[in-house]
Amino acid sequence: MLGSLAYVVMEVLPRHGADRTMRKVKGAAVKVIDPERDLRAARAALETADTAANRTLFADTLAERGMWAEAIGHYEAGEAKAPGGSDRAIRLKRARACFEAGRFKAARDLVESLPPSASQSDNDRAALLRARLLEQAGETAGALALYAEVGERMPGAEAQCRRAALLVTLGREAEAMAPLIEAERRAQRMDRHERARRADMYAWAAETLAELRAERGQSGG
């Protein structure tokens, strides 16, 4: 089976290299055949030239594998090597790594030290992480407000799902219906590769929405 998959990746997919969907399929297939390929390449690049970009790339590959604690130091080193010893994008990634590694105070300090970005999408990504930090700290009102705010602008449905999950946790299921319905609507419009990136989250949202609809005897949104 792996031999057949390798043939498709190496011989068939390159003929469709200009197609965005084919590139995604090829990338996914390569990860199945050789899951450590990206990590080896990033490590080799770092050993060749210890630059901010290569440090960050190596940290990114660690983060993709859930190796958040290991990624933190490389993000820190990468930012130190950036011009002026500071880089907002790398610091935000480091904050995310700290959060996922359970270092919540460090993550919050980093998020609060971020300068405003000229890009609204960058500011929204930072706000989403800030909302998660507020939720973790028990500051639920602030978290809910931020989830609602950034959810109006950000693509995907992460903000809606996280807001709904918090509302359900607080026993406010009726209020969770609206963000869940919006998450369902957005998920239906995504391509399958985008949905697959957050498969567990969207599956939870769909199951929870179905349960709430059943409890209320609703047939739709």
The rounded distance, in Å, linking the Cα atoms of 205 and 221 is: 14
Note the pLDDT tens digit of each residue in 60-98: 999 999 999 999 999 999 999 999 999 999 999 999 999
Note the pLDDT tens digit of each residue in 149-207: 999 999 999 999 999 999 999 999 999 999 999 999 999 998 888 888 889 999 999 99
Scan for tokens 């880089």, then name that residue: 87
Q: Which of 139, 181, 150, 187 is nearest to 164 (CA)?
A: 181
Cα torsion through 166, 162, 199, 208, rounded to 10 = 40
Res. 15: pLDDT tops 90: no
Residue 195 has a pLDDT of 85
Helix, strand, coil percent values for the chain (each to nearest 5): 80, 0, 20
